[in-house]
Amino acid sequence: MGVIQHALENVPNRKFGYCTDDVSRAFMVALAYLRLAPSDKTAHRFASTYLAFLQHAQLDDGRFHNFMDYDRRWMDEIGTHDSCGRAIWSLGYGVANAPTQTHRRVCATLLDRTLPSLESLEYLRSRAYAALGLAHAQSALKEAKYENALRYLAGEITASYRANADDEWRWFEQIMTYDNARLPEALMRAGQALQEPEYGELGLAAFEFYVNVTIENGIHVPIGNDGWYPRGGPRARYVQQPLEACAMVDAALAAFDLTGEAGHVATAELALEWYYGKNSRKITMANGGGCFDGLGEEAVNPNMGAESTLALLSAAYTLAARRSRVLRAVR
């Protein structure tokens, strides 16, 4: 069916079944791996399974279910805004990166069905996830329907930035919460795909602010989910989530693509090292191909759920692909 949501240590916990959130992530990870190993039959099978799940999850209005129990029954009438946004992201990524024409066409068909539903995405992160997918699709196909949809989403994200940012707080909200780097990444990628410098400039300003907040003495210290970081208040240092390091990798590479400044690649490498012990507790979060679920002040969450493991794999594959491109260019 797909990838099990949660784990008890490294054993899949079937009680929690599946979710579109994690299958979307898994689809992108499988495609990222296929960029490195295009003939890997297992990765091709996984990609097909995950895409079939997304097709099954899509509702008639273009939105998606999210939660499915282990008996393959949908547990909701409609998924969360974030799960719908991530599904759109994964389909746009598939339009640009799926290794077969068949999968790219299926991704485009499912993506097109989502376009009328974009205005239903009320939250900033769900809009950012969808914008990332549409930036991939627009960069690959240059179609007016994707351009218009991406302009709408980028405009909404920009409006949130302008409503909240000033010289001291260059951010989209009055509090930093989860998956933070996805917000500037979405604007930077939209700016590139649409050739709109304003989006890229605002995204870069927010990203540089975020880097100043979260890089301490050469270590990536993500905002912890035990209190977040409200403007003017204390920033939570724990519990740090693995998805934050992955988001930092992707946003830093978006900043590099926008500016060509090598320091952004160094930031991406630094974020990847968070998984391997270069973090505020000097604990290796990667474990046997999986990743622990959270870095706490006193202890590490020993469970290795889908979100955490997929974050590790996504960050590793993304940087491996970037290094491979650099080596080919040098040769």
218-254 pLDDT tens trace: 999 999 999 999 999 999 999 999 999 999 999 999 9
8 by DSSP, 3-state: which?
Answer: strand
* Fold of the domain spanning 6-330: Glycosyltransferase (1.50.10)
pLDDT digits (tens, 9 = 90+) for 20-66: 999 999 999 999 999 999 999 999 999 999 999 999 999 999 999 99
Of 69, 70, 34, 71, the residue nearest 51 (C-alpha):
34
Q: Are 51 and 102 in contact (CB under 8 A)?
A: no
216 by DSSP, 3-state: which?
Answer: strand
What radius of gyration, in Å, describes the C-alpha atoms of the chain? 19
Model confidence at 330, in pLDDT bands (50, 70, 90)? very low
Taking the C-alpha atoms of residue 109 and residue 32, their distance in angstroms, rounded to an integer, is 21
The full DSSP string for 171-193 is: SSSSEE-SSTTHHHHHHHHHHHH
- Read off the tokens for 171: 């951010």
Bond before 330 cis per omega within 30 degrees: no
pLDDT for residue 115: 98
Q: Where are the domains of the chain?
A: 6-330
Taking the C-alpha atoms of residue 179 and residue 177, their distance in angstroms, rounded to an integer, is 7
Model confidence at 323, in pLDDT bands (50, 70, 90)? confident
Give the Å distances, CA to CA, from 279 to 14, 153, 215, 219.
31, 34, 10, 6
pLDDT digits (tens, 9 = 90+) for 63-99: 999 999 999 999 999 999 999 999 999 999 999 999 9
